[in-house]
Amino acid sequence: NAGVTQTPKFQVLKTGQSMTLQCAQDMNHEYMSWYRQDPGMGLRLIHYSVGAGITDQGEVPNGYNVSRSTTEDFPLRLLSAAPSQTSVYFCASSSTGGTGELFFGEGSRLTVL
Amino acid sequence: DAKTTQPTSMDCAEGRAANLPCNHSTISGNEYVYWYRQIHSQGPQYIIHGLKNNETNEMASLIITEDRKSSTLILPHATLRDTAVYYCIAHNYGQNFVFGPGTRLSVLP
């Protein structure tokens, strides 16, 4: 079972560059979300989606865009990377009709120089 | 979601029970208590959740006080692999999960 798959696992960017973090799940989950985690801190919600075509902002959305064209995929885009976006990014999904348990990917570690 | 309060860190001897407390004094009637853990830099992993009654699964037990203002996660026989950050979350179905800083549990040999 693949579960939630994130790519890439590691990425180094220069300030101002753009990139997309990919997230895919094979559990037919309606809900998907992106969190970031800075050293020694808990996870903060960036964006989330409750279904294809529906996205909304979380706690720290500035500097990030998302789209949800299919149930399986929920990419996170950084349009102009800044050093403050250096972090570990986690994608998560859940079934809205189930226990609400979140399934997480293994994370994508991003460094912006 | 109601705010939860957890100790910053705890130690536990290998093979002993690890009891992790969580205060959620403002929890509402339809909020569940969820526990997740994060081993090193991996993605968080679901452990258990409950509403009123005590719950047990293959990983842990969850004890919720009768007034629901606090709970305890119990790992009955802690191993070195249980060293992780443990997050207690008061969560309402349909809402987003809010993760605090959690408790860093160190299982010592």
Each residue's pLDDT tens digit, B44-88 = 999 999 999 899 999 999 999 999 999 999 999 999 999 999 999
Q: Quote the CA–CA distance of A3 and A24 in Å, as a whole number.
A: 8
- pLDDT tens for residues A54-75? 999 999 999 999 999 999 999 9
Residues of A in contact with B87 (CB under 8 A): 42
B69 part of contact set with chain A, CB < 8 Å? no
What digits encode the pLDDT tens for the residues A83-113?
A: 999 999 999 999 876 667 899 999 999 999 9
Average of per-residue pLDDT values in chain B: 94
pLDDT for residue B67: 94
What is the average pLDDT across A9-14? 97
CA-based nearest residue in chain B for residue A42: B101
Query: What residues contact residue B66 under an 8 Å CB cut-off, 6+ apart?
Result: none
**Mean pLDDT on A7-27:** 97
User: Chain A contact for B102, CB < 8 A?
Assistant: yes
**What distance in Å separates the CA atoms of residue B84 and residue A42, rounded to the nearest whole number?**
13
Q: Exposed/middle/buried for B11, CB within 10 Å: 0-12, 13-18, 19+?
A: exposed
Largest CA distance in chain A: 42
